[in-house]
Structure 1
């Protein structure tokens, strides 16, 4: 393995499951253009049947609720009897949640068993997302340590639905950083829409998946556990310019978990006596019953000869007694068909909408991705309804992993296309308005750090006591190549600019008053060529300066 390489990680943080893919540096003597994907499939599990799974459940539990002695209860590590929190990513997007609240979501025994939208001890959804991601960060570190890659710098791409608002993306970004991602020296976190990452990857000649021509118009149908996300693109060109997005739609409360819910209703009302007396140990997503049903659901295809001639899958169930649940082919079809029909109808509507926006019938490819896209029954239904000489339906071999793998490739291409700053950049407050001297340097941009936007804003806060006799003060900007960056100015730390802060308007206003604690807020807009700094106390603008980075 090259000692000077860089790791590229793609993280598909979904509402029901999460997946991680990595692109390793080329080994010594290997072609530098070689791309080798590695999907993380070694998670801490409580049952052998979860070993080797590439997707980890997005679920979280807390030890203070009295069901475990372990402190980190997440993913597969949650035992069946534990009350867990699920679907805490979806509420990060207020637009989707407003639709969920408009009468679309019904609480019942199934949602209670899964822990959908549950909030332990009043924790916020953002806090739970950050906690879950912090455990994921540690698990990735363990994986990289085993592979002897933990000392390499990383570029990580997190994806999000194309329908998310800027505010939702910012909320997710804050949760990601609070979890610890991007804190190591030389690490960088970038973000991008899930379908665009997939389309961009499949446009590459070496993707090995599909060749999308410049004349194509594609619709990406992301079939997940709790939502169906459909986004359309006009490719326009195959060069570095991104495809043109035509439409984007998220349908909440539609996905593979709708089948789980229907199965739960079936067994509770018709197949298992006294079902209401059972607890989480027998009915939660990690119970034996639901684990067995998950295996049945993954394999079901009414066109399969084995199922057509004799289909009698056994769901093992235990409490005081053993109860066997026999599912016939017709019963499984009844569970699948309403969900699959809704997805096909939605896909048809979105194809029509994309063609309407384009002004002509241009959609000629459907790309199926996401965990539920791996269902043979769903794939067959979509092909039968939509595939023609003019329309191609394509599903990758591992549709559940394609977003994470595409995000890893996006991270690699972003890193190769973005200039690498060769300095740390920092600010020193100097003599403050309370006549104290603070010569510590706050480094706001690290050497080799890259951003996912052309200009990225960072906030620096400095607290001091206001002295109304001091109407002006200065801050100083430095750069250095020293690693790690020193706390104070010394040899090798270069002064590159200064900014004078004018406090006259603030002092004349009389608020805050003499002796009050005030907080200086510096908004540092880091571009590729210069640093634009604006300084505020409360709503008072007290200074601005542009500092060249050359």
Structure 2
């Protein structure tokens, strides 16, 4: 006969909980509500340490002070990494210099001398097992046209998430056209890990042996862009007064695969202090959106003569796409009569075909007009403008402030054409009351800002939660509130309603750095269990209003792993035994506090689990792309659904 699961209950503030003391109770305990605590916690007595123990404690304190002093005097190198859909950038800065001295790695292996002058390397990877001319895997500029390679794989890392409102409609069509392929037997996560390992090795090789033990922290890309843009602009143009305290700004990060917007209020310029005004928005509509539009134009214009060509001829990393990348980056629309040539031989194209236009058979070149280029940029431009307008309207609706500046960065943000369209938009829509600022090295803003963010404390004094965070629970059934399909009978508490949500953080909630949310729980552990590992699921919701019930708009977020060690249980059993509790027959009630820290120093959601003042063995967040709900939390008990 299978044993029943250990039950976990969220403590109710109105009633105290205890283990049912019935001798005929089940082997794995149920929680019972009562007005009095059956297990009072005794006051702990202070015992002075022995002379030997006191000496050990003093030595430990002195050793800790020595290590702290040594760490403060040591010089560190802060490395900022911007892993993008199309390109990756790396910046670094030493802790003993000022923000003006942030450097960008501009020397890359492969591709010849021209790679010594580029701020970024292509996010591209080729496996030796798939390319006969390779003895080892190639990455970045090492990947040459004609190789079997993989690009845009960052777009696939969140393949299980729902499409955003302004995502490029051509994105999903690009799958199967060689633009978002994956190697056999590998996931997007595996491919990204292989690529980032090479980036890590290159960084170590470039900076030499000065890099010691790594400490990893995360920073949002728009936050990194804000840090670099404001600091570099203030230092480069100190007399122009482009920024001032109280001013509202929107960061527009036009990257390779996405467009991301975040709005801030400048609280202080020195030191820089920012407050996020509302939840940021974005869409998969960056530079690759223009590339997808090019492919659609080629298919519409040349049919199978183009679409039948292999990915190594027309996909990311091909000579065809590299030539177009140069044209795309420099396009400014200043001369409407200008044409652009892209070399591509299409053997199935017939010169006698009267439908073939804008193709030079003598030079094997496709000719693109300025009108063509404007059309290729159209979706990316329109989506960006819609996102800006949506963010401005949201800020107005919340009466959060007035936006005076757009800071544009990222690869596509470096485009002269994009800058012109944004200038025109701000002039027409906001009567010139909103200015567009682009950092001198907008393409490298993210990695530069990431490095600067590691140099000093984060300038963000408060953020807005991107999601609702919560758990699936079950409650006492209410005919007016719950659906009959969610009803089930509990042997102790009667009719219950499963699939209910308990949200502990709301979307757009203002969060201070290191802000904590706590939940008190109780584990009831059978007497024959000597250690226990708990797995608690948590969920996310992107909707504006969080639903009270679990459904399709609630997405799995991950799993909290909590290890209750034998040391903790033995200590609790001894305490209960001293109070006359029969620890051999009755389950052990263990109070646990889960502390959630959002937006802390590491930039991720952290969790800690404690029992009283005792830290439980391990507690960490495991993020999962497609986890299942194996149980249900309750406000008074936890049981398998």
> What's the counterpart of residue 349 of structure 1?
390
> What's the counterpart of residue 342 of structure 2?
315
1:38 pairs, out of 89, 103, 107, with 103
2:210 pairs, out of 143, 148, 151, with 151
Structure 1 residue 137 corresponds to structure 2 residue 200? yes
In the TM superposition, what is the alpha-carbon distance from 1:244 to its structure 2 partner?
1.7
For structure 2, the 5+ residue unaligned runs are 1-72, 348-360, 460-512, 517-526, 532-565, 575-582, 588-605, 620-641
> Contact 1:229/1:248 (CA < 8 Å) preserved in 2?
no
Structure 1 residue 373 corresponds to structure 2 residue 426? no
TM-score (norm 1): 0.63
In the TM superposition, what is the alpha-carbon distance from 1:96 to its structure 2 partner?
4.5
C-alpha separation between the residues in 2 aligned to 1:97 and 1:53?
A: 35
| Most deviating of 365-374 and 191-200 | 191-200
Residues 462-502 of structure 1 show CA distances to partners (whole Å, capped at 9, x for unaligned) of xxxxxx99989xxxxxxxxxxxxxxxxxxxxxxxxxx9444
In structure 2, relative to structure 1, the CA distance for the partners of 1:52 and 1:508 (3 Å cut) is: farther
> What's the counterpart of residue 119 of structure 1?
182
In the TM superposition, what is the alpha-carbon distance from 1:353 to its structure 2 partner?
1.2
Structure-to-structure mapping, 1:197-208, within 5 angstroms? 197-204=224-231, 207-208=234-235
In the TM superposition, what is the alpha-carbon distance from 1:526 to its structure 2 partner?
12
In structure 2, relative to structure 1, the CA distance for the partners of 1:47 and 1:241 (3 Å cut) is: closer
C-alpha separation between the residues in 2 aligned to 1:391 and 1:380?
A: 14
Figure out how many residues of one structure are paired with residues of the other and give that number.
404
Residues 48-90 of structure 1 show CA distances to partners (whole Å, capped at 9, x for unaligned) of 6555221222223333334552332222222333443333334
Structure-to-structure mapping, 1:52-201, within 5 angstroms? 52-66=117-131, 68-93=133-158, 96-97=161-162, 99=164, 104=169, 107-108=172-173, 110-116=174-180, 118-145=181-208, 150-153=209-212, 184=213, 187-201=214-228
> What's the counterpart of residue 323 of structure 2?
292
| Aligned alpha-carbon RMSD (Å) | 4.2
In the TM superposition, what is the alpha-carbon distance from 1:191 to its structure 2 partner?
1.3
> What's the counterpart of residue 255 of structure 2?
224
> Contact 1:455/1:526 (CA < 8 Å) preserved in 2?
no
> Contact 1:228/1:343 (CA < 8 Å) preserved in 2?
yes
In the TM superposition, what is the alpha-carbon distance from 1:375 to its structure 2 partner?
0.8
TM-score (norm 2): 0.55
> Contact 2:170/2:293 (CA < 8 Å) preserved in 1?
no
In structure 2, relative to structure 1, the CA distance for the partners of 1:333 and 1:389 (3 Å cut) is: closer
In structure 2, relative to structure 1, the CA distance for the partners of 1:88 and 1:280 (3 Å cut) is: closer
2:366 pairs, out of 302, 320, 325, with 325
2:423 pairs, out of 365, 383, 395, with 383
In the TM superposition, what is the alpha-carbon distance from 1:378 to its structure 2 partner?
0.9
2:378 pairs, out of 337, 343, 355, with 337
C-alpha separation between the residues in 2 aligned to 1:91 and 1:273?
A: 27
Q: Higher relative contact order at CA 8 Å, sep ≥6: structure 1 or structure 2?
A: 2
Residues 241-285 of structure 1 show CA distances to partners (whole Å, capped at 9, x for unaligned) of 842212334433312212111222223332587223322232122
For structure 1, the 5+ residue unaligned runs are 27-31, 154-183, 417-452, 457-467, 473-498, 512-522, 538-550
In structure 2, relative to structure 1, the CA distance for the partners of 1:14 and 1:96 (3 Å cut) is: farther
In structure 2, relative to structure 1, the CA distance for the partners of 1:100 and 1:43 (3 Å cut) is: farther
C-alpha separation between the residues in 1 aligned to 2:246 and 2:84?
A: 31
